[in-house]
Amino acid sequence: MKIKLLNNIVLVCLLIGMIGLVFIPSILLAQVGTVNGAKVDTSNAGLVVKVAPGELLPISVKLSNFGGNHRVDVLVEYAIFSSIEEKIYSTNETVAVETTNNFIKTIQIPFGTLGGIYIAKTSITYQGQLVPATTQFSFTVEKKIFGLFQSDFFLYGGITFLISIFMVFFGYTLIKRRRRTMRLVPVDYSDIPHNTRVFYELISDTIMGMRQQVGENALDIARQINGLVIDEKTGRVLELTEKPSKVIAELVSGYEKALGKKISFSFRN
């Protein structure tokens, strides 16, 4: 009777010692269980932080049996909880662990899952387990629009929109400046005989100067001058069929009426 009591005391002490061995590492590291001298630990990590409903959530699982040298069959349960601790999905599988077992488990997030922060928990159960071993990580469920997460879609969409606005504005300004510059570039009349070239240049430069002030109206006025033939778009002088000085005088007169003031000239060197 005394011997049996002593044996029970030894068994209780042994169990307390085992629990102590298990409990301290479980505080410092993760929850660890033992079976037949084996200690099995689990750790998991989310490989992504954001998934869409219906997509696969990869979970990196590491099982370590560092308590013994023999194989342990471990039941691994995967579960997803909402932020209010509501379980929205769970599954399990049995995995044999001899020393370590690393693998990636993919879980499909149910279609219709609402957006928000969720927690993926991995827990292990095995024969003779003393304390539960559970690890977890959080991730976000978010809908996708055109293959992009909603928040990314609005972010990149916003940036793209702003860039587009900038590009349109920049392009418009560039085209406007180019048109203005083209108008300011004196037309070359080197193909015109020298004795009449100066008239072509003077008329052309006058039209160019007036386009800066009265816009395309300058071309309309020039087109109405008898004896002056110009290019409809560029304002280039194509032909003078009347006396050049008469054409210039009429052109100046037309511009002065349109502008309401006298006009100045510059001559090419």
Partner 1 sequence: MKTQKTILVVEDEKSLRDAIVNILRINNFLSLEAKNGREGVELALSKHPDLILLDLVMPEMDGMTALKKIREDEWGVRVPVIILTNLSATNEQLVEDMVTRKPMYYLIKSDWKLHDVVDKIEEILKIKN
Count the site residues for partner 1 by CB under 8 A: 21
Q: Quote the tokens at residue 171.
A: 């392009």
Place of tokens 């991995």: 122
Could you say which of 36, 90, 99, 266 contacts partner 1 (CB under 8 A)?
266
Nearer to partner 1, 241 or 264 (CB): 264
Which of 149, 234, 142 is CA-nearest to residue 184? 234
Q: Does 73 bind partner 1 (CB under 8 A)?
A: no
CB atoms within 10 A of CB 177: 10
Task: Judge contact between 249 and 225, C-beta under 8 A.
Answer: no
Nearer to partner 1, 147 or 260 (CB): 260
DSSP annotation of 223 reads: H
Could you say which of 19, 192, 214, 263 contacts partner 1 (CB under 8 A)?
263
Nearer to partner 1, 33 or 209 (CB): 209
Q: CA-to-CA distance for 81 and 16, rounded, in angstroms?
A: 34
The distance of closest approach from Cβ of residue 263 to partner 1 in the complex, given in angstroms and rounded to an integer, is: 7
The distance of closest approach from Cβ of residue 232 to partner 1 in the complex, given in angstroms and rounded to an integer, is: 25
Q: CA-to-CA distance for 139 and 58, rounded, in angstroms?
A: 11
Q: Does 262 bind partner 1 (CB under 8 A)?
A: yes
The distance of closest approach from Cβ of residue 250 to partner 1 in the complex, given in angstroms and rounded to an integer, is: 8
Task: Judge contact between 212 and 183, C-beta under 8 A.
Answer: yes
Q: CA-to-CA distance for 18 and 39, rounded, in angstroms?
A: 11
Half-sphere exposure of 34 (CA within 13 A, CB side): 17
Q: Of 9-17, 22-30, 127-135, 261-269, which segment contacts partner 1 by CB under 8 A?
A: 261-269
The interface with partner 1 within residues 201-260 (CB under 8 A) comprises 202, 243-246, 248-250, 252-253, 256
The distance of closest approach from Cβ of residue 230 to partner 1 in the complex, given in angstroms and rounded to an integer, is: 18
Q: CA-to-CA distance for 251 and 221, rounded, in angstroms?
A: 7
Beta bridge mates, 230: 237
Binding marks (x or -) toward partner 1, 178..207, rule CB under 8 A? Answer: --------------------xx--x-----
Q: CA-to-CA distance for 205 and 263, rounded, in angstroms?
A: 12
The distance of closest approach from Cβ of residue 226 to partner 1 in the complex, given in angstroms and rounded to an integer, is: 13
The distance of closest approach from Cβ of residue 252 to partner 1 in the complex, given in angstroms and rounded to an integer, is: 5
Nearer to partner 1, 91 or 213 (CB): 213
Could you say which of 86, 112, 185, 267 contacts partner 1 (CB under 8 A)?
267
Q: CA-to-CA distance for 255 and 205, rounded, in angstroms?
A: 13
Instruction: Give residues in contact with partner 1 (CB under 8 A).
Output: 198-199, 202, 243-246, 248-250, 252-253, 256, 261-267, 269
